Amino acid sequence: MNKRWSPNVTVAAVIERNGRFLIVEEHTPDGLRLNNPAGHLEAAESPEEAVVREVLEETSRDFTPTAVVGIYLTRFQRHATREDVTYLRIAFTGQAGEPTSGWVLDQDIVRSLWMTPDELRASRQQHRSPLVLRCVEDFIAGRRLPLSIIDTDPSIYKPEIRP
C-alpha cells in the first residue's frame, strides 16, 4: 500500500514596522537563506500558538497575531538531494515586542533584520522560498483575513477516543 502524501504545515509571521519587515537569516539544507519568522506546526498546537512560538524562538520577540495574510501552497525540489517538498503555509500578521534580553535563538538562526520591500525584492535569490516575498507583497496590498477563519477544535489538545 502506498503511503499517503501530506504537505508540511507551516506558519509564518509578516511583521512590519516603519515600512520595514522583520526577516530572519537562517542556515537551511540549501545554505544561508532569508525567511519570514516561520516554522512547522507541532502536535497539540493551534496555528496561532505555533506562530507565536516560532516568532519567539527565531527573533526573541513576543508576537500577537491580529490577522491572517493568506494561506499558501508551494512545492519545490531541494537542489542537493532532489527531495520533493510541499508546504502549506498560514501567514499571520500582528504586533511584535522588543527582543527579550538573554533569549537564545534557534540554532539555525543567524540573526534577524529589518528589510524594506525593495531590499526584499532585490534579494530574491537568497529567499528560502518564493513565499517570503509573496506574503510581504500580499500584506502591502492590504490583504487581511480575520483570525476566526481558523478554527482549532479542542480535540487537538485532547484527542477524542472513538470506538
Domain coordinates in residue numbering, the chain? 8-145
Least confidently predicted of 10-19, 58-67, 103-112: 103-112
CATH superfamily, region 8-145? Nucleoside Triphosphate Pyrophosphohydrolase (3.90.79.10)
Q: Rounded distance, CA 163 to CA 53, Å?
A: 34
Which pLDDT tens digit goes with each residue over 29-82?
888 999 999 999 999 999 999 999 999 999 999 999 999 999 999 988 777 778
Q: For residue 96, what is its C-alpha cell?
A: 511584535
* Percent of the chain at pLDDT exceeding 90: 79
The answer to whether 88 touches 73, Cβ cutoff 8 Å, is yes
pLDDT of residue 74: 92
Q: For residue 110, what is its C-alpha cell?
A: 543567524
Task: Enter the pTM of the model.
Answer: 0.92
